[in-house]
Every structure is written in C-alpha cells, then in structure tokens.
Amino acid sequence: MTRAFLALLLAAAGWAQDRPTFRAGVSLVHVDAEVTDADGRIVGGLAKDDFRILDEGREQPIVQFASGEEPLDVILLFDVSLSMKAVVEAVSAAAREGFRELRPGDRVAVMVFNTRSRVVAPFTEDMEEVERTIREQILPGRFGGGTFIQAAVDDAARLFLGQKRTERRRAVLIITDNIGTRTRREASVVRDFWEADALLSGLVVRNPKFEALRAVSVVLGPQNALLQAGMKGIADKTGGDFIHSGDPGSDFPDAMHRIRTRYSLYYGLPPEGKANSTRTVHVELSAKAARQHPKARVRARTGYLVPERVE
C-alpha cells in the first residue's frame, strides 16, 4: 500500500467521523464559517457550542457540526482580460504554489473570462491535468478584452448548479485585478451562489499599471459602472475571503487553505421557510467564545435559498 493511498484512506476516515448524518424527512441548512483574529489569522479549535446561528433573527439549534478539513470542489476562475497581461508572471507563480493546497479527493474545474467566460477544463480529480491546462492553455494565451467579473462569477455559480451535490465544500476562487464593467445585478449573482451552496473567494492581484484607474474609481464613487463592478460584495455575502495580494505566489495557497479549513454548521430548516424563497442567516460566536476571542471576525454567508423539503 502506497503512502499516498494510505493518506487518502486516513483522510476519508477522519471526514467520515465528523460528517453530518442526514435523516429522511429532515431538511438541513448548511453554512460554512471562517473565524479570524484581529491580524487575519484563522482561529482554530472551536466547537459547536462556540457558535450561534440566527435565521431571520431567530436563534436556531446547531444539529450537526464539523471542524476538520473537507474535500473541495473548486472552480479556478482566471481573468484573462487586457489589464491582466501585465501581471501574468505573478498569476503563474500563484497557480504553481496554489496546487500545494490540493489534496487527493479534491475536484477542480478551470474557467477563464474577459468579456465572456468559458470552461477550459471540466471538473476532475487529476491535478496533473489541471496544472498542465493552466500552464499550457491559459498562461501562454492571449490576454485581451474587457473584464465582466460579475457575469463570470455568476457563470461559475451556474456551473455548480449543473453538478450533482456531494459532500465536498464548493468554492469559486477568482484570480483578477478586480477592475471591471458592471454586467449583472449583485443580488441575482448572490442568489445563484446561495442556491449552489458555494462561496466566492478572490485573489486580487496588484496591478501597478492600473492603480491610477482604481484611484479614479474611488473619486467617481459607486455611480461609476466602468470601474466599480468588482466581486467584493458578492464574496462578503457568500462568506468568502477577499485577499489583496502583493505576492500571489504565497497568497494563493493561503486562499486555498482558508477555503478548506472552515467550520461546517447545520441546522433544521424552519417550518415557515417556503421553497425557493430567500432567508437571512447570521453566524456569530457565542458569548463565551467572544470573550475568549474579543476581536474575532466570523465570515459566513448572509442568506440562503430555501430548498425543496425532504419528504
């Protein structure tokens, strides 16, 4: 038995011990949560009693909880617009380092976008093939066109909606300079992420050649559709991270690690929840945990789409 195969078996056994047990007739709401301290470091070692969940403002009992690393379904979404041409080497370094965070059992799909998005490689567990796709098809390719970020991340969420649900955590990790043109209503994009039970995280690569444009966008304010159409608001509402990176080679693995090591919380769907309606959800630390971690921040999605009830 090889070491790699043994490691895979042990990882699967560890996840099986913590994973939720779903019962017929019970609909559970799933929320992933990340807890960081004042310096942005991940706070580990928390237990079920360290969290509170409020659904439409009412506290709900947490019926299932998992804190170990979970296998992933990740869509790597690469910005190949004209503005990214100046930082392609940084993106290349980020991609190489990011693969160190992938594990046996993970699945990865690769997408690219500028004024339109497309799937370059469908979901696969073959990490060598994914790395080869990025190295041979994306990085040497032509960078050009505009940056339709909102449409691209929505297309990624819809790709998840076409996939069979598994126990893997779902995430879209976008690599971009976050300078784009408004193309979709944020609320509709967020709704698709909520329905897909996926989070959006972003690695925002610093692009010196376009810093002046970013400064102009701040001056012009939110009415400036050309430059204010990034993904931070979507990431916040889906519970994802938004990392401004001066060193993508080290920040990409960190972004992947943060996706993997979240806490998984489950509670019963409230009886008044109507199928296909949206409800608000808020995750916070319990009073005791908040005293122990007074400056901690909890990232989790801010709502969900009510699923069809299990009969």
Residue range 227-244, pLDDT digits in tens: 444 677 899 999 998 888
Between 220 and 91, whose confidence is greater?
A: 91
Say if residue 150 is in the same domain as residue 57: no
Q: What b/e readout covers 1-10, taking b as 16+ CB neighbours within 10 angstroms?
A: eeeeeeeeee
Within a domain: residue 15?
no
pLDDT at 214: 52
Tens of pLDDT, residues 56-111: 999 999 999 999 778 899 999 998 888 787 777 777 767 766 777 788 889 999 99
Do both 90 and 239 map to the same domain?
yes
Section 270-279 average pLDDT: 91
On whether residue 95 sits in a domain, the answer given is: yes
Higher pLDDT, 263 or 233: 263
Question: For residue 249, what are its two tokens?
Answer: 């080679």
Residues 111 and 206 placed together within one structural domain of the fold: yes
Tell me the two tokens of residue 299: 């990232």
Provide the CATH number for the domain around residue 219: 3.40.50.410
Q: Are residues 254 and 286 in the same domain?
A: no
| Position 41 in a domain | yes
Separation between Cα atoms, residue 129 and residue 64, nearest integer Å? 36
Same domain, yes or no, for 147 and 224? Answer: yes
Q: Which one is predicted more confidently, 127 or 226?
A: 127
Residue 79: name the closest of 247, 231, 305 by CA.
231
Same domain, yes or no: 192 and 237 = yes
Task: Assess contact for 268 and 60: CB atoms under 8 A.
Answer: yes
Provide the pLDDT for residue 305: 94
Q: Are residues 186 and 280 in the same domain?
A: no
Q: Whose CA is closest to 64, among 32, 87, 42, 96?
A: 32
Q: Is residue 17 part of a domain?
A: no
pLDDT of residue 177: 81
Task: Please give the pLDDT value at position 208.
Answer: 66
Of 162-176, 218-232, 291-305, least confident by mean pLDDT is 218-232
Q: Same domain for 100 and 177?
A: yes
Examine the domain organization and report whether 157 and 245 are in the same domain.
Answer: yes
The answer to which of 17-31, 102-116, 122-136, 273-287 has the lowest mean pLDDT is 17-31
Q: Given pLDDT bands bounded at 50, 70 and 90, which one contains residue 279? A: very high
- Total domain count, the chain: 2
Task: Provide the mean pLDDT of the chain.
Answer: 82
Confidence of residue 245 (pLDDT cuts 50, 70, 90): confident
Transcribe 213-224 into DSSP letters: HHHHHHHH-TT-
Report pLDDT for 307.
85
Same domain, 193 and 137: yes
Q: Within a domain: residue 9?
A: no
Domain membership flag for residue 14: no
| 283 and 202 within one domain | no
Average pLDDT over residues 193-211: 84
Q: Does position 123 have pLDDT exceeding 50, yes or no?
A: yes
Q: Tell whether 202 is covered by a domain.
A: yes
Q: What is the pLDDT confidence band of residue 161, given thresholds at 50, 70 and 90? A: very high
- 61 and 165, same structural domain? no
Please report the pLDDT score of residue 196 as a whole number. Answer: 96
| pLDDT interval class at 257 (50, 70, 90) | confident
pLDDT of residue 228: 44
The domain in which residue 51 lies consists of 24-68+262-305
pLDDT of 35 reads 97
Question: Of 180 and 193, which is predicted with more confidence?
Answer: 193
Among the residue ranges 4-13, 36-45, 71-80, 109-118, the one predicted with the least confidence is 4-13
Per-residue pLDDT band for 146 (boundaries 50, 70, 90) equals confident
Look at residue 2 and tell me if it is in a domain. Answer: no
